[in-house]
A and B are shown apart, each in its own frame.
Chain A
């Protein structure tokens, strides 16, 4: 700058100009803040609106069913023969619950165990191998899992069990368990890492073994995170469709054994929705099942939240 040549007089207006620019910038920032606040608020509002619309439209179509079919038949009858206007969805509801429970039974011990291994026990090189692999597994589309289930798992189950088909809740639960395992494992892993180091140090100082530290200190402290990991896994298991449809057999009957070809809410919807007439009870019944799915996952999440809170209070 040619500052030395310029007189003092020219400096004052420059300063003023500077403060005006500053002021402008400040106002722009304020405006930006306000606008982004409106934007976020609008986003949330839009999301709620769309969510509401989904629920209303599914619910509206679903409730048309009860004009012709009694709720008692829909919820309590095990006879699903839509060709003959018999809509009993109890088998699907029970199967969905069985499948979800079985999936969690398989997936939770394994995935929480893996999370403990990852966070507490494994050497560094193993951690840096396991974590990216798990992250990769989350990204695999579910239909690929289903296809692997169909071509690899089912023949294996057939050989082991001596069944003719091998399809059923066990096959579906195994596939689902593999799918939710990375989710549960990685989130539990994060929860366990978040447990402060001083907890462990204190426990070791009191003479605990590593197993005692993990079981008595680390896991209880990370419980909240682990529970939300399980919730996430469970909602994925309840709503998962494509993988299940390929290995469960798609026969509307109660899963009396692990190898009974059966059907759950999601798989039944996807199998039939494209083959039914728009304005038919059958279509309404499928919408009702979708609505039910919404309610089931809602209730399951509530139950687990309540259990989680109670344990924390105790």
Chain B
């Protein structure tokens, strides 16, 4: 017992000493303090984590905890007071199909996320119009030959309802058209990674995904109304399937939260790390 006590005391002293030393180093000349909790979109998570890392280096007294779940959990967590920032792939302060506006929340634009229609490599089609896509996802067009391909059934792969990618794709690529469940040749996936694997391994499959995921030779991005899915075409305004990523806050952001959002929106971050992560800086967009 005595030995145990001695050990505990020693350990405690050691811990206190170490903490004190570190705190002493950290308190150098920075006045910004606080704790920022960020929740929401998984699409924006890599960006958030990178920004948090850089921001904490500048302001060691600010603690940032970030996690990703689904777009809608962002503004919800803000509403419930669980998070200071809710990352969301759409502007949650206004109504979107399926989700009501979150009152009293402010949408802070932080990035541009381009999306692409993807098909399995065996599909011969390389351009689809908005009408054709709407037809395919609503189940009216079921065979590739109806859109200029070979005679094969179209396999529709989609994200589950409430996914930010799905909300944006529906609005921008399908012209607001519905994605309808079909008896056969229809499948829902839970994440961008699953979507990519499913389209890559299923012949005659069509799906949609963040442009950054379009790599490798098993899937290919399809032109939309004749325009290729590239970041250049997003920036010059000809390719329409993209969306702003938002940080939702309860009212106007203040304190450390405000500083953090401003850091993410700063030229340095937007043109540096954000571009490296293959998002598009918000300043690049004219609209």
**Chain A positions near chain B (C-beta within 8 angstroms):** 82-83, 147, 150-151, 154-155, 158, 163-167, 245-246, 249-253, 259-261, 270-272, 274-278
When distances are taken between beta carbons in the complex, the residues of chain A under 8 Å from B33 are: none
The answer, yes or no, to whether B194 is at the interface (CB within 8 Å) is yes
Please name all residues of chain B whose beta carbon is closer than 8 Å to the beta carbon of A150 when the two chains form the complex: 194, 197-198, 201
Beta-carbon nearest neighbor of A263 in chain B:
B188
Complex contact A275–B160 (CB within 8 A): yes
Q: Is B187 an interface residue (CB 8 A)?
A: yes
The 4 closest A-B pairs by CB, nearest first: A275-B162, A274-B70, A250-B188, A164-B185
Contact at B160–A272, with CB atoms within 8 Å?
yes
**CB neighbours of A166 from chain B (8 A):** 202
Q: Which residue of B lies closest to A152 (CB)?
A: B201
8 Å CB contact of A277 from B76, B163, B184: B76
Are A275's CB and B184's CB within 8 A?
A: no
In the complex, residue of chain A having the shortest beta-carbon distance to the beta carbon of B185: A164
Per-residue interface assignment for chain B, residues 71 to 95, with 1 indicating a CB less than 8 Å from any chain A CB and 0 otherwise: 1110010001000000000000000
Report Cα–Cα, A155/B184, bound state, in Å.
16
Interface residues of B in 41-95 (CB under 8 A from A): 69-73, 76, 80
Given the complex, which residues of A lie within 8 Å of B182, measured CB to CB? 251
CB pair B98 A83 closer than 8 Å: yes
A251 and B160 CA atoms in complex are apart in Å by 9
Q: Is B181 an interface position by the 8 A CB rule? A: yes
A272 touches B161 (CB 8 A): yes
B72 to chain A, nearest CB (A): 6
**Of A147, A246, A253, A275, which one neighbours B72 at CB under 8 angstroms?**
A275
State which of B72, B162, B184, B194 has its C-beta within 8 Å of the C-beta of A261: B184
Q: Cβ of B190 < 8 Å from any Cβ of A?
A: yes
Q: Tell me the nearest residue of chain A to B166, going by C-beta.
A: A275
Q: Can you list 20 residue pairs at the A/B interface with Cβ under 8 Å?
A: A83-B98, A154-B201, A154-B202, A155-B201, A158-B203, A163-B184, A164-B202, A165-B184, A165-B185, A165-B186, A250-B190, A253-B181, A253-B183, A259-B184, A271-B160, A272-B162, A274-B162, A275-B161, A276-B72, A277-B72
B181–A260 contact, CB under 8 A?
A: no
> Would A260 and B201 count as touching, CB distance under 8 A?
no
Number of chain B residues whose Cβ lies closer than 8 Å to a Cβ of chain A: 31
Contact residues in B for A253 (Cβ distance below 8 Å): 181, 183
Q: Which listed residue (B161, B181, B190) contacts A270, Cβ 8 A? A: B190
State whether A260 and B183 are in contact (beta carbons under 8 Å apart), knowing that A150-B197, A271-B160, A274-B69 are contacts in the complex: yes
Q: How far is the CB of B49 from chain A (nearest CB, A)?
A: 18
Say whether B197 contacts A147, CB under 8 Å. yes
Query: Is B153 engaged at the interface, CB distance under 8 Å to the other chain?
Result: yes
A151 to B199, CA, bound (A): 11
A151 contact set on B, CB distance < 8 A: 197, 201
Bound together, the chains give a CA A271 to CA B194 distance in angstroms of 12
When the two chains form their complex, are residues B204 and A164 in contact, meaning their CB atoms are under 8 A apart?
Answer: yes
Whether B254 sits at the interface, judged by CB under 8 Å, is: no
Contact of A278 among B80, B162, B198, B201 (CB under 8 A): B80
Q: Is the CB of B160 within 8 A of A250?
A: yes
Q: Name the CB-closest residue of A to B157.
A: A165
CB-CB under 8 A from A245, the residues of chain B are 190
Query: Within the complex, what minimum Cβ distance (angstroms) separates B244 from chain A?
Result: 20
Quick one: given A164-B153, A278-B80, are A246 and B73 in contact (CB under 8 Å)? Answer: no
Point out the residues of chain A lying under 8 angstroms from B106, CB to CB.
Answer: none
- B274 to chain A: closest CB distance in Å? 25
Contact: A249 with B181, CB < 8 Å?
no
Q: Is the CB of A251 within 8 A of B201?
A: no
User: Looking at the complex, which one of B72, B162, B184, B188 makes contact with A164 (CB distance below 8 Å)?
Assistant: B184
Is B155 part of the binding interface, using a Cβ–Cβ cutoff of 8 Å?
Answer: yes
Residue of B nearest to A261 (CB): B187
Interfacial chain B residues near A167, Cβ < 8 Å: 187
Assess whether B189 is interfacial by the CB under 8 Å rule: yes
A274 touches B73 (CB 8 A): yes
User: Once the chains are docked, how many angstroms separate the CA of A166 from the CA of B198?
Assistant: 11
Residues of chain A lying within 8 A (CB to CB) of residue B184: 163-165, 259-261
In the complex, which residues of chain B have a beta carbon less than 8 angstroms from the beta carbon of A155? Answer: 201
Q: Which residues of A contact B188 (CB under 8 A)?
A: 249-251, 271
Tell me which residues across on chain A come within 8 A of B197, comparing CB atoms.
147, 150-151
Query: Nearest-CB distance from B105 to chain A (Å)?
Result: 14
| Minimum distance in angstroms from A156 CB to a CB of chain B | 11
Interface residues of B in 172-209 (CB under 8 A from A): 181-190, 194, 197-198, 201-204
Contacts of A250 in B (CB 8 A): 160, 187-190
Closest to B69 in A: A274
A97 to chain B, nearest CB (A): 21
- Since A151-B201, A245-B190 are in contact, a sample of 8 more A-B pairs with Cβ atoms closer than 8 Å, ordered by chain A residue number, is A164-B185, A164-B203, A165-B202, A249-B188, A275-B71, A275-B72, A275-B73, A275-B160
Q: Report the bound CA distance from A249 to B198 in whole Å.
A: 10
Question: For A261, what are the chain B residues with a Cβ–Cβ distance below 8 Å?
Answer: 184-187
Report whether A276 and B162 are in contact in the complex, using a CB–CB cutoff of 8 Å.
yes
**B186: chain A residues within 8 A (beta carbon):** 165, 249, 251, 261
Residues of B within 8 A of A252 (CB): 181
* In the complex, chain B residues 147-168 whose Cβ is within 8 Å of any chain A Cβ: 153, 155, 160-163
Smallest distance from the beta carbon of A183 to chain B beta carbons, Å? 26
- Which residues on A sit within 8 Å (CB–CB) of B163? 275
Set of chain A residues within 8 Å of B76, measured between Cβ atoms = 277-278
A126 to B: closest C-beta gap in Å: 35
Chain B residues with CB below 8 A from A154, complex form: 201-202
The docked-state distance in angstroms from the alpha carbon of A252 to that of B197 is 21
